[in-house]
């Protein structure tokens, strides 16, 4: 149990009947008691309606009765992720004194308006949505340019350089940081 509740997971798929007579719902309750909003799917041979209702009321986001097809589990995970992404989407982003409004295509650093081209805007949006996370060049290529670009392409480095000039040059704190050999981190670094 402690391995599940000690870490911050995006998603937990847990069985109701675990070794040692531990009910998976005890772990779900512990997660919720700790205030964790981790997505939880309970899988169980206990498939009666009352058991499914109990699982959902105890804090599970979904409950699947055994036997089930892996494709169904994957589809349910995708559905939960779509809902989670829709909830977390905000058209207005802010990191330090940098603001981005996706509705108006407006970017400001303090009181200074920053003019960006379309790809620069998409790149900045992705970086801001992944604040304080290491993002690789391949992640940026996929998100901004699509899967048609080759990994050997220096398009990401070129666009990051342009974005740095517009977003960081002459401003404090610096927000775009290189993680050598890996990619980039966006946010205030202390």
Answer for the pair 80, 52: CB distance below 8 angstroms, yes or no: no
Which has more confidence, 30 or 173? 173
Tokens linked to 174: 């610096």
Answer for the pair 124, 116: CB distance below 8 angstroms, yes or no: yes
Helix (H) or strand (E) segment spanning residue 39: strand 39-44
Q: What architecture is domain 2-88?
A: 3-Layer(aba) Sandwich (3.40)
Q: Measure the CA–CA gap between 28 and 79, rounded to whole angstroms.
A: 20
Average pLDDT, integer, range 54-63: 90
Query: The domain 92-186: what is its CATH number?
Result: 1.10.10.10
pLDDT digits (tens, 9 = 90+) for 132-186: 888 888 888 888 887 555 555 688 899 999 999 999 999 999 999 999 988 999 9
Q: Measure the CA–CA gap between 147 and 127, rounded to whole angstroms.
A: 18
pLDDT digits (tens, 9 = 90+) for 84-137: 766 566 788 999 999 999 889 999 999 999 999 999 999 999 899 888 888 888
Give ranges for CATH 1.10.10.10 in the chain: 92-186
Confidence band of 42 (pLDDT split at 50, 70, 90): very high
DSSP-derived secondary structure for 73-131: HHHHHHHHHHHHHHHH--SEEEETTEEEETTTTEEEETTEEE---HHHHHHHHHHHHTT
Predicted confidence at residue 80, as pLDDT, reads 83
Average pLDDT, integer, range 65-78: 92
Whole-prediction pTM value?
0.56
Give ranges for CATH 3.40.50.2300 in the chain: 2-88
């Amino acid at each position: 149990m402690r391995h599940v509740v000690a870490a911050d997971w995006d998603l937990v798929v847990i069985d109701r009947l675990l070794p040692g007579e531990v009910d998976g719902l005890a772990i779900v309750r512990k997660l919720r008691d700790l205030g964790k909003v981790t997505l939880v799917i309970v899988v169980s041979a206990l498939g009666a309606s009352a058991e499914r209702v109990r699982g959902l009321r105890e804090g599970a986001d979904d409950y699947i009765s055994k036997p089930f097809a892996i494709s169904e589990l994957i589809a349910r995970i995708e559905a939960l992720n779509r809902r989670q992404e829709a909830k977390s989407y905000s058209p207005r982003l802010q990191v330090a004194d940098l603001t981005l409004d996706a509705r108006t295509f407006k970017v400001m650093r303090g009181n200074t308006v920053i003019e960006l081209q379309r790809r620069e805007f998409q790149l900045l949006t992705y970086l801001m949505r992944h604040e304080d996370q290491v993002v690789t060049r391949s992640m940026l290529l996929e998100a901004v340019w699509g899967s048609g670009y080759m990994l050997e392409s220096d398009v990401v480095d070129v666009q990051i350089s342009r974005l740095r000039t517009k977003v960081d040059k002459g401003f404090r704190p610096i927000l775009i940081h290189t993680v050598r050999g890996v990619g980039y981190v966006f946010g205030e670094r202390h």
